[in-house]
Amino acid sequence: MSRRSTTLRTLSASALLVLALAACGEAGSSGTGGNTSGGSTSTASGAACEPVAGDALVVLEDDKHLQTVDNIIPAANAAAVANQPAVLELLDTVSAALTTDKLIALNKAVDVERQTSSQVAQKFVEDEGLAAQDTPGTGTSLVVGAANFSESTTLAEIYAAVLRSGGYDVTVQTVDARETYLPALESGQLSVFPEYVGTLTEFLNKEINGPDAEPLASGDLDTTVAALRELGAQKGLTFGEPSSAQDQNAFAVTTAFAEEHDVSTLSELAEACPGGITLGAGPECPERAFCEPGLEEKYGLNITNFVNLDVGGPLTKAALLQGEIVLGLVFSSDGQLG
């Protein structure tokens, strides 16, 4: 259910989407029951929490680490950078500067304000002072890859701008899904790529160790990065340092709801709403450990009503803003978050 599979997103919550919301899925489709108004009813002890409409969304902290880490990390063809240590050194300066809040701002500039990824990248490099102070590249050619969604394109343009400032001759090439671009990175057709720690770890894990391999990615960044480096070495890949910026599955409420109930974490939500809440997400959520089952088992959240919507998309966000659901599955770097 992760966007790193190159799912494109649309950020507008228009009247058309609200109309579509009314026709999309039935409340209680997870088998937990509930009503179609978005309110929650429960026989559990304690108060249920009704949705609160608002004009902005906020992610609740995953304080018990239900989600796998998905920090952005520079991935490179090991042979391509073997004699160019400055490549990863330069990209590590990007990682050091990039936070989730800054990633949200970058995505907002592209997806909401409709600036180009190239424009946004250049401004970020200038604002953060990331231009190289010397030119170790001396004209060496590099190809920076980008997946076909705007966040990846913006990150690739940032990588390219920083590498160009270091004297490298850089082109940016947009490739389709990971199944297409990863072999190109392994073969050296692509030199570097902005990747996601947890998603790539599990992709390589299943490719190397089989589809039923025990997961190696977790909520622990250091352990997951260590596993990624070991797996990558078997594929001729090397990695820079991970940024603190993450684009991972996350759960949001309206800022109005968060303020009314004084919640900033999922644990606090469970404490504030023991009688139940309405959850909205994609159709796989009731079966996925990181979604409804995990919220119930790890946090003790009482999901009395599930609304079948989309995966971090406009329907889920419209449902939150319109007061149809309390909690919705989003992506942590979404430009519509505030």
Q: 237 has which bridge partners?
A: 77
Domain with CATH 3.10.105.10 in the chain: 72-239
Task: Read off the DSSP letter of residue 67.
Answer: S
Tokens of 70: 């998905």
H or E element in which residue 330 lies? strand 327-331
- Calpha distance 51→301 (Å, rounded): 15
Can you give the C-alpha Rg of the chain in angstroms?
21
Percent of the chain, pLDDT > 70? 86
CA 221 – CA 76 distance, rounded (Å): 19
Note the pLDDT tens digit of each residue in 243-298: 999 999 999 999 999 999 999 999 999 999 999 999 999 999 999 999 999 999 99
Domain at 72-239, CATH homologous superfamily: Dipeptide-binding Protein; Domain 3 (3.10.105.10)
8-state DSSP, 219: S
d(CA 160, CA 124): 12
Query: CB neighbours of 99 closer than 8 A, spacing ≥ 6?
Result: 243, 244, 245
Q: Could you say which DSSP state residue 287 is in?
A: G
The pLDDT tens digits of the residues spanning 50-73 come to 999 999 999 999 999 999 999 999
Q: What is the mean pLDDT of the chain?
A: 88
DSSP 85-150: HHHHHHHHHHHHH--HHHHHHHHIIIIIS---HHHHHHHHHHHHT-S-SS-TTTT-EEEEEE-SSH
Domain 3-66+248-331 in this protein, CATH class: alpha beta
Residue pLDDT, tens place only, 175-209: 988 999 999 999 999 999 999 999 999 999 999 99
DSSP for 17-52, written as a single string: HHHHHHHS--TTTTTT---TTS----SSSS-B----
Res 169 pLDDT > 90: yes
pLDDT digits (tens, 9 = 90+) for 3-54: 454 333 333 333 333 333 333 333 333 333 333 333 334 444 578 999 999 9
- Checking if the pLDDT of 129 tops 50, the result is yes
Q: For the chain, give every residue range classified as CATH 3.40.190.120.
A: 3-66+248-331
The tokens describing 55, both together, are: 């004009």
- φ/ψ of 24, rounded to 5, equals -100, 105
- pLDDT of amino acid 52: 98
| Beta-strand runs (E) in 148-302 | 169-174, 192-196, 237-239, 249-254, 277-281
CA angle (219, 146, 222) in 5-degree steps: 20
Question: What is the model's pLDDT at position 338?
Answer: 64
What pLDDT is stored for residue 28 in this prediction? 35
Indicate whether this model's pTM tops 0.85: no
